[in-house]
Chain A
């Protein structure tokens, strides 16, 4: 499968996750979101950027429990809860946000 962004074609898997981590850029993220009829706001970008930094440091996408705790620490308690994250990413914060961040689907993630 492929995703077309501004005339460039990017390989994605059957669930729409980017096949190659290095293909990612903000336009690709927006296109991945658009494929799910979602629009990325600044609040979404905070989480997406956080996930990319986390992956860069640890080479994994964090489990949702770990993500929630870490977001709370970095962006403030009002954002470090599953209600806030599920409002942003209704398909599951780790799963959906990782997709837009161009990361592999989290291992054993809900």
Chain B
């Protein structure tokens, strides 16, 4: 498709307390129908959106963390996590869900969607975007 654009969604906020994380996820899932190139970036408190073992019982909100694992089904398989943001919060990739997708061109092999990036790589991702959405 010649008119494909590169959409970069930047997720900066903790999952609950504001609607940003859920809204971003919904926009990504809806936008996936348009078959554009999609990249998700998790930076600052946004890295908490992907943490394992979320429990929302005490705050009366829907735990939508399971929904991130559906992203692969929606062909959203370029997910970038900022290394420095993890480090600043005492987290590692092991604290995050492992998001995967099935590669249609490789006999549906299951592959990781996640990549750890440094600030320089992050800057490149952002400058390469055709459409940049900040949440």
Contact call A62/B30, Cβ cutoff below 8 A: no
State which residues 48-78 of A face B: CB under 8 Å. 57-60, 62-63, 65-66, 69-70
Q: How many Å lie between the Cα of A85 and that of B106 in the bound state?
A: 27
Inter-chain contact B64/A59, CB cutoff 8 Å: yes
Q: B74 in the interface, Cβ–Cβ < 8 Å? A: yes
What is the total of A-B residue contacts with beta carbons within 8 Å? 34
Q: Which residues of A contact B74 (CB under 8 A)?
A: 63, 66
Q: Which of these, B29, B64, B73, contacts A108 with CB under 8 Å?
A: B29
> Within the complex, what minimum Cβ distance (angstroms) separates B54 from chain A?
11
Identify the closest chain A residue to B33 (Cβ).
A63
Q: State which size class the interface on A falls in.
A: 10 to 19
Contact A57 B66 (CB under 8 A): yes
Contacts of B84 in A (CB 8 A): none
Residues of the A chain whose Cβ atoms lie less than 8 Å from the Cβ of B26: 107-108
Taking the closest CB of chain A, its distance from the CB of B28, in whole angstroms, is: 11
Please give 13 more A-B residue pairs, beta carbons under 8 A apart, in addition to A58-B70, A63-B32. A57-B66, A57-B69, A58-B66, A59-B62, A59-B64, A59-B67, A60-B67, A62-B70, A62-B73, A66-B70, A66-B73, A108-B26, A108-B29
Q: Would you give 22 A-B contacts (Cβ < 8 Å), ordered by A?
A: A57-B66, A57-B69, A58-B67, A59-B62, A59-B64, A59-B67, A60-B67, A62-B70, A63-B29, A63-B32, A63-B74, A65-B33, A66-B70, A66-B74, A69-B73, A70-B73, A107-B26, A107-B29, A107-B30, A108-B26, A108-B30, A108-B33
Contact surface of B with A, Cβ cutoff 8 Å: 26, 29-30, 32-33, 62-64, 66-67, 69-70, 73-74
